[in-house]
Amino acid sequence: MAITKTDTKEKIVSFATQLIETKGYNGFSYQDIADELGIKKASIHYHFPSKEDLGIAVFEAFMKGVHEHIAQIDFESLTAAEKLAGYFQYHAEVTLVKNHDASDCSHISCIGALTSEWNNLPEKMREQIDNFNNWHVGFVASIISDGVAKKEFCHVGSVEGQALLIIAATKGALLLSREKTSIEIYNQITRQLIEGLKCK
Amino acid sequence: MAITKTDTKEKIVSFATQLIETKGYNGFSYQDIADELGIKKASIHYHFPSKEDLGIAVFEAFMKGVHEHIAQIDFESLTAAEKLAGYFQYHAEVTLVKNHDASDCSHISCIGALTSEWNNLPEKMREQIDNFNNWHVGFVASIISDGVAKKEFCHVGSVEGQALLIIAATKGALLLSREKTSIEIYNQITRQLIEGLKCK
DNA sequence: GACAACCTACCTTTGGGTAGGTAGAATGCA
DNA sequence: TGCATTCTACCTACCCAAAGGTAGGTTGTC
The whole-angstrom distance between A5's CA and the closest CA on chain B is 35
The whole-angstrom distance between B171's CA and the closest CA on chain A is 5
Tell me the CATH number at B154: 1.10.357.10
Residue B172's contacts (CB-CB under 8 Å, 6 or more residues apart) are: A167, A168, A169, A170, A171, A172, B189
CB-based contact (8 Å) between B27 and chain A?
Answer: yes
**Is residue B8 a part of any domain in this protein?**
no
Residue B114's contacts (CB-CB under 8 Å, 6 or more residues apart) are: B20, B24, B25, B59, B121, B125, B129
pLDDT tens-digit series, residues A128-184: 999 999 999 999 999 999 999 999 998 778 999 999 999 999 999 999 999 999 999
What is the number of residues in chain B?
A: 200
**Is residue B7 a part of any domain in this protein?**
no
pLDDT for the residue numbered B156: 72
**Is residue B90 a part of any domain in this protein?**
yes
Q: What is the mean pLDDT of residues A36-57?
A: 96
Please, which residues 58-117 of chain B have a Cβ atom closer than 8 Å to chain A? 106, 112-113, 115-117
pLDDT for the residue numbered B96: 67
pLDDT for the residue numbered B3: 38
**Is residue A39 a part of any domain in this protein?**
no
**Is residue A156 a part of any domain in this protein?**
yes
pLDDT tens-digit series, residues B97-143: 555 566 778 899 999 999 999 999 999 999 999 999 999 999 999 99
The mean of the pLDDT values for chain A is 91
Q: Which chain A residue has its CA at the smallest distance from B198's CA?
A: A156
Name the residue type at position A154: C
The minimal CB distance from B22 to the residues A119, A185, A193 is found for A119
Name the residue type at position A192: Q
**Is residue A16 a part of any domain in this protein?**
no
Counting the structural domains of chain B, the total is 1
pLDDT for the residue numbered B56: 98
CB B85 within 8 A of CB B193: no
Q: Which nucleotides of C are covered by protein (CB under 7 A)?
A: 4-9, 14-20, 25-26
Nucleotide nearest to B42 (CA to C1'): C7
**Is residue B50 a part of any domain in this protein?**
no
CB B74 within 8 A of CB B184: no
**Is residue A27 a part of any domain in this protein?**
no
* Number of helices (H), then strands (E), in chain B: 9, 0
Q: What is the domain range of residue B182?
A: 62-197
pLDDT tens-digit series, residues B23-68: 999 999 999 999 999 999 999 999 999 999 999 999 999 999 999 9
